[in-house]
Amino acid sequence: MSLSLSLSFPKFIQIETVRECNARCRFCAHGTGQLLEKGFMSEELFDKIASEVIEHKDEISRVQLNELGEPLLDKKIAERIRRFKDGGIREVLLITNGALLDERKAVEILEAGVDILRCSITTINPEKYPLLRRGLNLETVLANINRYIELRDAINKDSRIYISTEKDPLLTDEDIEQWEAYWKNRLSHNDVLKISELFSFGLQLSSVDKTRELGIELSTPCIPMMQTIYIPYNGKVPLCCIDFGWQIPVGDANVSSLQEIWQNDIFSAYREMHRNGRRKEIPLCLHCDGWEPKQNLAGEKS
């Protein structure tokens, strides 16, 4: 997309049907205790959002059905996937820690038509995993993901799997190499391994060393913000997905359409600031490098 042009509707939709998690990872706002508001999206709000998104299906590249929460806590997640796929959405993505991905749930989401399942598995080191992914059991997660791969190949071979890790200071180069070798032997050529820098959500997370990000002052536009709208569980839309505390609210999906929010003066003004190289004037954006493509070991860029 040329940044000189404005989209009339966002290409990427992030819908957070649940803001709660079964883990307390040390590099996440759930783990640091900084998420003060949690809950589940109401059926009324989800239905309103889904109906509008499907109306704009030809303008949308992807719907992501979670953000700051574990999507498998949503008992209706397979039903929601199916609604979007039946409605003509070309790609539906879920991001999970894998702990709740038992065989029954795996079959449900595969049969519903999920296009991408991204599994965040920071390490396969049994001593370090519980320090990083607090509250989860590595054996359970590995068994779930390995079984999911088998079921994917049998039920929906076109569905892709992304396995991701973060460069936490606890991890050595050897840890990451072992992680890479383990998954490369299991994934297909259409799947993706992703290695990311730890990210502080625009210097917000108290648990992440911010030295690297403090050394960055970007003037280039944030590509996701130019194309993406994030709707949290309560419908209160912030500037982007890193704004988990609503520092910059831009609209309310309970009372406005997504198109109205996307085109309103507030949201449009912030996108214009980015487009004109003025992101430094937005404190949340000044040191945020979350927009940069992450290192992929196979497949496409994120």
- Greater confidence (135 vs 174) lies with 174
SS3 252: strand
Bridge partners (DSSP) of residue 62 are: 12
pLDDT digits (tens, 9 = 90+) for 146-167: 999 999 999 999 999 999 988 8
pLDDT digits (tens, 9 = 90+) for 1-39: 444 457 899 999 999 999 998 877 676 766 566 666 889
Q: List the structure tokens of 243.
A: 């704004």
pLDDT digits (tens, 9 = 90+) for 205-217: 555 555 555 555 6
Q: What is the pLDDT of residue 148?
A: 98
Q: What is the pLDDT of residue 299?
A: 36
Phi-psi region for residue 165, left (φ > 0), alpha (ψ -120 to 50) or beta? beta
The percent of residues above 90 in pLDDT, for the chain, comes to: 64
pLDDT digits (tens, 9 = 90+) for 121-147: 999 999 999 998 888 999 999 999 999
Q: What angle do CA 131, 209, 35 make, to 5 degrees?
A: 70
**E-assigned strands of the chain?**
12-15, 18-19, 39-40, 62-64, 92-96, 116-120, 160-166, 192-196, 228-231, 236-238, 249-252, 295-296
Q: What is the pLDDT of residue 298?
A: 39
